[in-house]
A and B are shown apart, each in its own frame.
Chain A
């Protein structure tokens, strides 16, 4: 029983660490590839958190074996996370394809420079990092 709570605490702190690292990367970095790394870490952390919630004391994996009577862990979060991992990879591949296209068009992946170039292209002006409409006199 104490081992169960220990495993839960340890994996919860692991999930928390992954989520925090992912959010730190999303907030902090300016390079788009690093932002995608942060997204992947965040997603892994959320998946680990859901699986930790499904874990029970003295329970086994949800697979029926002849003559086994022990309690089983909750199967619903497992199915959810299985779906989430595959969709996560699809979303990540789409994001990387857009990154490739962005690099081919603008030649940089730094978000600040990208924002400036896009602003120049569309005839807007940057005010504190936000593109703003320029009034024509």
Chain B
């Protein structure tokens, strides 16, 4: 079975969907690159080369470079989605949602409801999230809790290349707006990705480790750190369920509750700022629906209530580390 990075898995999936369905178009800043210049076409392929090579096969009519104009082109993509296209629009760094939030929150998310169910809005907004590249406060945030709180949006955050393919296929074929969040530090991580087509349904978490002593819930890049901690504990005979939510809207409540009902102990790991985070949300769900199964207080490991700092010494402690996760897990086991 081929081994692929997340970057390659997303690129291949975009390519195969564009071959399958001529209404799928890619829109964004530098998704091809090189427009209006003397250099080569396909000069960029996105900031991290995720859409590299697509313009060569599909042309500029379907791989559409835009000016730096997020409110304009995200809104344009929303309008195109209700009128016959299936746009995959790239917001580049998710922090830039600040300049186009209206198009996401007031427009695409609400069309179907406001219009009495008479329209589909099949659009995927791809964006990069996460700290770790010293990209500082305006290029590093998570912000998935913000969009997960909005009715009408679905929010997807793969942690590996296999899931990235299956979730992106589902996202492109879904008739609702989907926010597809790619963690920058994961692009070069790889795993086996089958060539055949498979769709991963939204709202279906994955158990990346299994065990009945404790439940660890996470998403996106934090899953890798949770796995690392679970493996270390397993060597000591302590076994954890590590639940990768994969989609944070919808949330697979069932998987979390079933696991907690067995383990009675829960740690939630989220790279978002802790206040109003997915960690808070999962904590609230479990406190409401599985309170009597709990044998220890719920623990949250999340980012502090600060912007993402630039200096390596600060960024490294901003993002939850394996050590912090391990401490939280051990404290919960002993509580």
> Do A and B come from the same complex?
no
Q: Which residues of A line the B interface, CB within 8 A? A: none
Q: Which residues of B line the A interface, CB within 8 A? A: none
